[in-house]
């Protein structure tokens, strides 16, 4: 696993003043952990983003605070609602000799044969898995090759995944990670047919109503003509 390094300094700014700190491009953060006293720190936002993009929450980082280095994982990154930029982060200090549990992202690689031959669509139903390992053994992501998915309903389960030595997957082994679905599912096809039938019925109903109105108007016109003729016949001659 690639080693990552971040330098932080102790933070003296808290509360409402953090808004001004963030405006200068500095990210407020905290270091915590088992039997570790919580420490408020800060670091350049751009440096944090560069490392976080590579490690996510599973990559081990050497956090340099003064003259000491602490092994940490990034946890609990808070994002600004509008800009989606980090506004706060926690660094979880780990014991390199104790296993930790964390969620690892799943990344699909390759293009399924079924997709190439336009037989079906690839669906990813699981985006991350829970694993347990020593901090130095944690994978930053789990890559799964989907090239051999060749037919509709072909799938890859958690139990099919090969993982590095020292890593244990805690996610249910029966969960589906990826599968090939029909280009148009039977449910969607039935729904489209039902919508088409409803549209035809509505069209027929409208047409029938229009015909009925036209017939009624014609009958009314005939009656009106008949009444007029009768009145003329009955009116006295001058």
Provide the edge-to-edge strand list for the sheet that holds 142-145: 142-145, 100-109, 128-133, 168-169
Q: With cut-offs at 50, 70 and 90, classify the pLDDT of residue 125.
A: very high
Q: With cut-offs at 50, 70 and 90, classify the pLDDT of residue 225.
A: low
Out of 53-62, 153-162, 168-177, 188-197, pick the least confident: 188-197
Q: What confidence tens digit (pLDDT) does each residue in 89-102 have?
A: 999 999 999 999 99
pLDDT at position 238 over 50: no
Percent of the chain beyond pLDDT 90? 63
Per the CB < 8 A criterion, the answer to whether 209 and 216 are in contact is no
pTM, entire model: 0.67
What is the full DSSP assignment across 193-224?
HHHHHHHHHHHHHHHHHHHHHHHHHHHHHHHH
């Amino acid at each position: 696993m690639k080693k990552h390094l971040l330098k932080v300094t102790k933070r003296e700014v808290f509360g409402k003043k953090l808004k001004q700190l963030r405006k200068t491009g500095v990210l407020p953060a905290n270091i915590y952990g088992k039997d570790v006293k919580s420490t408020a720190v800060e670091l350049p936002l751009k440096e944090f983003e560069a490392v976080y993009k590579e490690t996510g929450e599973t990559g081990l980082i050497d956090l340099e605070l003064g003259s000491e280095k602490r092994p940490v994982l990034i946890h609990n990154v808070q994002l600004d609602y509008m800009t989606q930029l980090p506004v706060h982060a926690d660094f979880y200090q780990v014991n390199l000799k104790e296993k930790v549990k964390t969620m690892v992202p799943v990344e699909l690689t390759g293009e399924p044969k079924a997709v190439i031959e336009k037989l079906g669509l690839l669906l990813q139903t699981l985006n991350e898995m829970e694993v347990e390992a020593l901090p130095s053994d944690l994978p930053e992501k789990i890559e799964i090759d989907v090239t051999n998915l060749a037919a509709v309903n072909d799938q890859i389960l958690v139990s099919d995944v090969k993982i590095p030595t020292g890593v244990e997957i805690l996610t249910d082994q029966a969960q589906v990670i990826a599968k090939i679905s029909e280009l148009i599912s039977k449910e969607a096809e039935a729904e489209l047919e039902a919508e088409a039938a409803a549209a035809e019925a509505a069209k027929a109903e409208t047409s029938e109503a229009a015909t009925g109105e036209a017939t009624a108007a014609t009958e009314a016109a005939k009656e009106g003509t008949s009444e007029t003729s009768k009145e003329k016949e009955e009116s006295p001659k001058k």
